[in-house]
Amino acid sequence: MPYPGSFDHQSSVNPAQLTRPGQANAAGDARALYLKLFSGEMFKGFQRNAIARDLVMKRTLKGGKSLQFIYTGRTTAEYHTPGQSILGNDQGAPPVAEKTITCDDLLISSAFVYELDEVLSHYDLRSEISRKIGYALAEKYDRLIFRALTRGARAASPITKTNFVEPGGTQIRVGTTANASDAYNAGNLVSAFYDAAAALDEKGVSMDGRVAVLNPRQYYALIQDIGTNGLINRDVQGSALQSGQGIIEIAGIKIYKSMNIPFFSQYGTKYGTGSATNPGITDPGNTGSFVSEALEDAAADVTGINNEYGEETEFANSCGLIFQREGAGCVEAISPQVQITSGDVSVIYQGDVILGRLAMGADYLNPAACVELFAGTATKPAAF
């Protein structure tokens, strides 16, 4: 038996010697750092899935419900007459217009974590939930921006002064038939990209920051055709085919793939029998309720939306986007962040509510920098 006051290594552990990785500086709440870990996981989940946020003009909104963007049109040059005063041109150029983007209501994704479930779970429950919350917010964020860009591709410039009208949006048909399946033809897509690049050049849009977003099947259709379309150097064709990430850019336009673009009134893909509004892809089965999801309606029908993002039927022939970063703007009143209950609330409910939230709004800015790809019809989709 050890003498009184001694420490028995065989029967107990001195609490002062325990390593508590959840404590800050070995003091206070034993879970304090775990909550910070969750916050980081949520934001990483958002960043990993949101691609549109860094591809458009993003501004932080403070002290107001909306943000104003100013358009300045072009002016003229003229020869000076000796002795004549220079008091500006007689046409009042350059003309100026504005665009206002309003913040939509608070967007949230939440879950309740029961403490006993955490104790019994063999995996990091909060970390897993945090990622899914981040994914949900990122999905909504991208979808709204891509819909705003599509709207911009159908719009005229806000600068409409006589003789100073600025270029508007561009819509380019993929293919020439009445079949929506043209959207998956690699040759048609490559031709559309070069048409889009030429149109952007003609409208004075900068080469810097030009990108395209296609759905996955379109992207992979381009990769499968690399042997004939010359998009990839012959030395790397093998690795490009195997990795599925071989297409870097076409005509100076960097390509991304996403399941969040408007695609024949769905998000990302559409299954079913081929027609003018369906590319005719067979459902691979067991796709779940979140795949081939229909576009929700816009501001008139959805509480919380304060900008115009279009209705489902208005995207019936949309099949891709090409744009430059000035094409759309996004205002953030609350950037993606996490909140979690604690203290008495956690005691009462024996668990925590984990909440991811953001407040943002999006709309097109410079229509000339927006290009919509459409297929299955010779008629350009109407503005909205």
DSSP 126-185: HHHHHHHHHHHHHHHHHHHHHHHHHHHHTPPPS---TT-PPP--EEEESSSSS-GGGGG-
Structure letter (DSSP) for residue 305:
-
pLDDT tens, 58-106? 999 988 899 998 888 888 888 888 988 888 877 878 888 888 999 999 9
Can you list the domains of the chain with their CATH numbers?
A: 32-73+93-284+292-374 (3.90.1690)
Please give the Cα distance from 158 to 69 (Å, whole number).
11
* pLDDT given at position 193: 96
pLDDT tens, 19-31? 667 677 777 776 6
pLDDT tens, 267-302? 999 999 999 999 999 999 999 888 888 887 765 567
pLDDT tens, 32-56? 666 555 566 666 777 777 899 999 9
Residues 6+ apart with CB under 8 A from 145: 52, 53, 56, 328, 330, 362
How much of the chain exceeds pLDDT 70, in percent?
Answer: 83
pLDDT band at 214 (very low <50, low <70, confident <90, very high): very high
Instruction: Note whether 246 and 240 are within 8 A (CB).
Output: yes
Please give the Cα distance from 207 to 194 (Å, whole number).
13
Please give the Cα distance from 247 to 218 (Å, whole number).
11
* pLDDT given at position 11: 52
pLDDT band at 235 (very low <50, low <70, confident <90, very high): very low
The yes-or-no verdict on residue 383 having pLDDT over 50 is yes
pLDDT tens, 328-362? 999 999 998 888 888 888 889 899 899 999 999 99
In the Cβ-directed half-sphere of 309, how many Cα atoms lie within 13 Å?
30
How much of the chain exceeds pLDDT 90, in percent?
Answer: 52
Lookup: tokens for 177: 């038939």
Pairing state of beta strands 328-340 and 57-60? parallel
**What is the chain's alpha carbon radius of gyration, rounded to the nearest angstrom?**
27
* pLDDT given at position 240: 45
Distance of CA 39 to the CA centre of its chain: 21
Please give the Cα distance from 369 to 318 (Å, whole number).
17
* pLDDT given at position 231: 63
